[in-house]
Chains A and B, each alone.
Chain A
Amino acid sequence: MFAAPLPMHIPDGFLSVAVSIVFWVISVIVIGISLARVNRDLGERQVPVMGVLAAAIFAGQMLNFSVTGGTSGHLLGAALATILLGPWAAVLVMTCVVAIQALIFQDGGLLVLGANLFNMAILGPFVAYPVYKLIQRISGGKPWGVFVGGGVAAWASILVASLSCAFQIALSGTSPANVAIPAMAGIHALIGLGEALITVGALSLVYAARRDLLQTGSAQPVRNNTAVWVGGSLLTLALVILSPLASSNPDGLEWVAEQAGFLETARDPSYNIIPDYVLPGISNEATATILAGVVGAFIVLAAALALAYARRKRSA
């Protein structure tokens, strides 16, 4: 029940070490920038505001509505947070949510947390922001801009995040690009509709009760968010253009990666080497496995003994 509903929290084991580290670096940099921006915009109010809203988004992810036959729609909340708080604060709020989910509830892995943060806490707001602002601008400040903009932003944030998730998995060699990308995109194009509907519902409540929060220039400072505009648009375009390329043929991603010269570094060197087993003194793999099993059994036995000993000492 508390597992987040989206098949988007990558567990440990699914990404190669290289991919994990690259995304850790990117995420740390963006979160660092967000911390500085929010510090400037909100000042000392930021701790209570960010903390409480992160708790609210975490809890809000439990809200659902039934779709059909036992399936239900859920909220991820990145777009909603972006619209109400601005992109930088949304990055921080989502960072706390995704980090706590991994650290405390094992929803998503720890080594791959950088990648999960990138997809859900960074890409989500970075995609939602330009989409929402663009549609709102087109609407000329009419109310439909808020709702259409919010809905499309919510849908896009889910879809693009899932594309990025599929890319990470494919780059790690855990799933072929021509399967992972269309599958993730297909599922999340639908899940994104649920996100869009709930987001519009939430926006209409906010619109009725606290319209001031939706008027630019009040709750969220709108100073110079060019970085989000440019970064978000570029990332969205890149993922949307690369996806069909990468999934068009069985080697699509390899092609993309080769062009980028990324493949060799992305995959663990050991990945392509089918084990050619040589252990000095032991002639075949079966024996080695048995040996490892024996060693393992001894370790577990030792642990059990240590435990028994510790207990005796305590009760003595």
Chain B
Amino acid sequence: MHANFLDPFQSRPSLVHSLDARVKVVLVVAFILTSALTPTGAWPIYVMLIAVIFSAEIVSELGLAFYMKRALLAIPFVLAALPVLFTIPGPSLLSLPFGLQLTQPGLERFISVALKSWISIQAAVLLASTTPFPDILVALRALRLPRLLVAIIGLMWRYLFVMVDETLRLLRARSARSATAANPALRPGGKLTWRARVAGGMAGSLFLRSLERSDRIYNAMLARGYDGEIHSLPVPAVPPSAWAALTFGLLLLAFIIAIGRLIY
């Protein structure tokens, strides 16, 4: 089994891919912040944000369809915002059974929340699929995340695939033995608590094996001179072109925020 499909990075020779990871992280967070600051019902601003993110997606050469598919992830959570349709007071648009009133400000609020999360998740997808993970790690380090945390996350990424492989193999071995009896009258599946205990057993053995594996890794690290200090090569300077992209991007976003704040 190969869990490589987990890695969302998709290599392409595009401008977005080649942009410095630090700049990309900052711009993506700034973009999400901009969308969070966009007032409810400021439709023109949303159109601009969509235009900006679509542009970046086109330039990334991965195809809009790819992003649309990945952006569906946030949909289930939209349920949580449904009640505002009916609870924000205002002019009623539609009367529904049970005395529910669909109000105009409610609808605006709901659509705004849905748009914000749709726009933001696209930016996050863009970051993850155009930036190799090691570059994101360097960016986190450059953005002053504690070294220790960066080192832990780096090691986690390295073993993530090993662990996911291991989990998939466990699940596969379980389904290989999940069978029905020769006697069709018997109901397969066992008791609920028993099934949960089996899944728990898998979690427990995964945990124990990882703990033992971490001992071996630690010894291997010691064998190569590890002393608890995390040494890493200095982060190279941000090239001028990346500075330019950063400045341009931040100005654009500041402009969008300003319009939103001035008009609404």
Q: Footprint of B on A, CB under 8 Å?
A: 2-3, 7, 9-17, 20, 31-32, 35, 39, 43-56, 58-60, 62-67, 73, 75, 77, 80, 84, 92, 95-97, 99-100, 102-107, 109-111, 169, 173-176, 179-180, 183, 194, 197-206, 209-210, 213, 250, 268, 270-271, 273-275, 277-279, 285, 288-289, 291-293, 295-297, 299-300, 302-304, 306-307, 310, 314
Q: Which residues of A contact B155 (CB under 8 A)?
A: 47-48, 50-52, 55
B251 at the interface (CB under 8 A from A): no
Within B118-152, the residues touching A (CB, 8 Å) are: 118-121, 124-125, 127-128, 133, 136, 146, 148-149, 151-152
B208 at the interface (CB under 8 A from A): yes
With contacts A17-B37, A51-B158, A201-B196 known, is A174 near B80, CB below 8 A? yes
Q: Would B43 and A289 count as touching, CB distance under 8 A?
A: yes
Q: Would B51 and A297 count as touching, CB distance under 8 A?
A: yes
Q: Which residues of B contact A297 (CB under 8 A)?
A: 51
Q: Can you report 26 A-B residue pairs in the complex whose CB atoms are below 8 A from each other?
A: A2-B6, A13-B117, A14-B80, A17-B36, A45-B214, A47-B230, A48-B155, A52-B214, A55-B163, A59-B160, A75-B199, A92-B152, A99-B153, A100-B156, A104-B8, A104-B128, A106-B121, A175-B84, A197-B197, A198-B200, A202-B201, A296-B47, A297-B51, A300-B54, A300-B58, A303-B56
Closest to A269 in B: B39
Q: Which residues of A contact B118 (CB under 8 A)?
A: 13
Bound-state CA distance A35–B124 (Å) is 27
Q: Would A250 and B206 count as touching, CB distance under 8 A?
A: no
Q: Would A206 and B199 count as touching, CB distance under 8 A?
A: no
Q: Would B59 and A307 count as touching, CB distance under 8 A?
A: yes
Bound-state CA distance A314–B14 (Å) is 10
Q: Would B80 and A299 count as touching, CB distance under 8 A?
A: no
Closest to B77 in A: A11
Given A14-B116, A106-B124: 14 more A-B contacts, CB < 8 Å: A11-B74, A13-B117, A17-B36, A44-B228, A49-B211, A52-B217, A54-B152, A73-B196, A96-B156, A111-B29, A197-B192, A209-B208, A275-B42, A300-B58
Q: Would B206 and A292 count as touching, CB distance under 8 A?
A: no
Q: Would B44 and A303 count as touching, CB distance under 8 A?
A: no
Q: Would A47 and B196 count as touching, CB distance under 8 A?
A: no
Q: Would B207 and A66 count as touching, CB distance under 8 A?
A: no
Q: Would B40 and A271 count as touching, CB distance under 8 A?
A: yes
Closest to A292 in B: B44
Q: Would A62 and B264 count as touching, CB distance under 8 A?
A: no
Q: Would B51 and A274 count as touching, CB distance under 8 A?
A: no
Q: Which residues of A contact B133 (CB under 8 A)?
A: 104
Bound-state CA distance A275–B261 (Å) is 11
Q: Count chain B residues whose beta carbon lies closer than 8 angstroms to a beta carbon of A.
A: 115
**Distance (whole angstroms) from the CB of A193 to the closest CB of chain B:** 9
Bound-state CA distance A207–B155 (Å) is 28
Q: Which residues of B contact A50 (CB under 8 A)?
A: 152, 155-156
Bound-state CA distance A62–B84 (Å) is 33
Q: Which residues of A contact B264 (CB under 8 A)?
A: 270, 273, 275, 277
**Distance (whole angstroms) from the CB of B23 to the closest CB of chain A:** 15
B243 at the interface (CB under 8 A from A): no
Report the 8 A-B pairs with minimum CB-CB distance, sorted nearest first: A201-B200, A44-B228, A51-B155, A13-B116, A296-B51, A303-B55, A205-B204, A13-B117
**Distance (whole angstroms) from the CB of B49 to the closest CB of chain A:** 9
Contact among A39, A65, A295 for B51, CB-based, below 8 A: A295
Bound-state CA distance A299–B264 (Å) is 23
Closest to A275 in B: B41
B28 at the interface (CB under 8 A from A): yes
With contacts A11-B120, A96-B152 known, is A62 near B39, CB below 8 A? no
Within B138-182, the residues touching A (CB, 8 Å) are: 146, 148-149, 151-160, 162-164, 166-168, 170-171
Contact among B41, B79, B113, B198 for A65, CB-based, below 8 A: B198
With contacts A11-B120, A46-B152, A103-B136 known, is A204 near B207, CB below 8 A? no
Q: Would A14 and B196 count as touching, CB distance under 8 A?
A: no
Bound-state CA distance A13–B14 (Å) is 28
Q: Which residues of A contact B149 (CB under 8 A)?
A: 31, 35, 92, 95-96
**Distance (whole angstroms) from the CB of B194 to the closest CB of chain A:** 9
Contact among A46, A60, A66, A289 for B167, CB-based, below 8 A: A60
Closest to A298 in B: B51
Provide the B196-232 mask, 1 if CB < 8 A to any CB of A, else 0.
1111111111111111011101100100001110100
Q: Would B41 and A274 count as touching, CB distance under 8 A?
A: yes
Bound-state CA distance A7–B73 (Å) is 11
Contact among B39, B50, B164 for A273, CB-based, below 8 A: B39
Contact among B13, B51, B83, B218 for A179, CB-based, below 8 A: B83
Closest to B82 in A: A175
Bound-state CA distance A202–B197 (Å) is 7
Bound-state CA distance A14–B114 (Å) is 8
**Distance (whole angstroms) from the CB of A146 to the closest CB of chain B:** 12
Q: Which residues of B contact A206 (CB under 8 A)?
A: 204, 207-208
Q: Which residues of B contact A273 (CB under 8 A)?
A: 39, 264
Bound-state CA distance A17–B183 (Å) is 61
Bound-state CA distance A55–B164 (Å) is 8
Q: Would B117 and A63 count as touching, CB distance under 8 A?
A: no
Contact among B37, B204, B213 for A52, CB-based, below 8 A: B213
